[in-house]
Chain A
Amino acid sequence: MAKTTTLWQKGVGGRGGYKLSRTRILIADPLTIFRAAVVHVLVRESDLEVVEAANFDEVAAQVGSACPAIALIDLELPPNGGVEAVSLLSRLCSTRMIVWSFAPTRESVLAAVRAGADGYLHKEISPAGLVRSLRGVANGEAALSRDLATLMIDAIHSLEQRDRTRERMSVLSLREREILDHVATGARNRQIAVALTISEFTVKRHMQNILRKLEVPTRRAAADFYRTAQAELLESAV
Chain B
Amino acid sequence: MSRPQPLVAVLYRVPLLCEALSSVLDDIAHVQAFPARRGDPVGLLRSIRPDAVVVDDRDEAESARRWAKRHHVALVHVAVREQTIDILRNGCWEQRPGATVESLRNALAESLFGRGDEAR
| Residue B78 lies at the interface, judged by CB distance under 8 Å to chain A | yes
Are A34 and B15 in contact (CB-based, < 8 A)?
A: no
Q: Pick the interface stretch among B20-28, B68-76, B108-116.
A: B20-28
B23 proximity list for chain A (CB < 8 A): 36-37, 39-40
Tell me the complex Cα distance, A38–B22, Å. Answer: 12
Tell me the complex Cα distance, A197–B24, Å. Answer: 77
| Residue B101 lies at the interface, judged by CB distance under 8 Å to chain A | yes
Tell me the complex Cα distance, A40–B81, Å. Answer: 19
Size range of the chain A interface in the assembly: 10 to 19
CB distance from A36 to the nearest CB of B (A): 4
Q: Of A31, A39, A102, A126, which one neighbours B15 at CB under 8 angstroms?
A: A126
Tell me the complex Cα distance, A107–B98, Å. Answer: 30
Are B15 and A33 in contact (CB-based, < 8 A)?
A: no
B20 proximity list for chain A (CB < 8 A): 33-34, 36-37, 40
- Chain B, Cβ-Cβ closest to A101: B81
| Residue A41 lies at the interface, judged by CB distance under 8 Å to chain B | yes
Size range of the chain B interface in the assembly: 10 to 19
Interface SS of chain B: helix, strand, loop or mixed? helix
| Residue B16 lies at the interface, judged by CB distance under 8 Å to chain A | yes
For B80-104 the 0/1 string (1 means CB < 8 A from A) is 1101000000000000000111001
A127 proximity list for chain B (CB < 8 A): 15-16, 19
| Residue B30 lies at the interface, judged by CB distance under 8 Å to chain A | no
B22 proximity list for chain A (CB < 8 A): 40
List the interface of chain B (C-beta within 8 A of A). Answer: 13-17, 19-20, 22-24, 78, 80-81, 83, 99-101, 104
List the interface of chain A (C-beta within 8 A of B). Answer: 31-34, 36-41, 102, 123-127, 130
Apart from the given pairs A32-B99, A33-B20, A41-B16, 13 other A-B contacts in the complex at a CB distance below 8 Å:
A31-B80, A31-B83, A33-B17, A33-B99, A34-B20, A36-B24, A38-B16, A38-B19, A40-B22, A102-B81, A124-B14, A125-B15, A127-B16
